[in-house]
Structure 1
Amino acid sequence: MGLLDFLFGNKGAKINDFKSRGAIIVDVRSKAEYEGGAIPGSKNIPLQTINSKVSEIKKWNKPVILCCASGMRSGSATAVLKSNGIEAMNGGGWFSLSKKL
Structure 2
Amino acid sequence: MFKVFYVFIMLSLFSFSSCKNREDKELAEWVGKGALVVDVRSPNEYEKRHFPGAVNIPIDSLSSRVEELGPKDKQIILYCQSGGRSLRAKTFLEEEGFSQVRDAGRIDRLFSVVSE
TM-score for both structures, normalised by structure 2: 0.74
Is the contact between residue 66 and residue 78 of structure 1 (CA under 8 Å) also seen in structure 2? Answer: yes
Flag the structure with higher helix content: 2
Point out 4+ residue stretches in structure 1 off by more than 6 angstroms. 6-9
2:36 counterpart of 1:27 = no
2:73 counterpart of 1:93 = no
Identity over aligned residues, as a percent?
Answer: 31
Alignment partner of 1:68 out of 80, 101, 111 = 80
Cα distance change, pair 5–53 in 1 and its aligned pair in 2 (3 A) = farther
Amino acid in the other structure paired with 2:41: R
How do 1:8-23 and structure 2 match up within 5 A?
Answer: 10-23=22-35
Q: Deviations over 1:37-96 (max 9, x none)?
A: 111111100000111122221348621000000111000001111111222111011122
With a CA cutoff of 8 Å and minimum separation of 6, indicate the structure with the bigger relative contact order: 1
Number of equivalent positions: 101
Alignment partner of 1:40 out of 41, 46, 52 = 52
Name stretches of at least 5 consecutive residues in structure 1 with no aligned partner: none
Root mean square deviation of aligned Cα: 2.3
Amino acid in the other structure paired with 1:76: R
Amino acid in the other structure paired with 1:27: D
SS in 1 for 2:37: strand
Is the contact between residue 22 and residue 62 of structure 1 (CA under 8 Å) also seen in structure 2? Answer: no
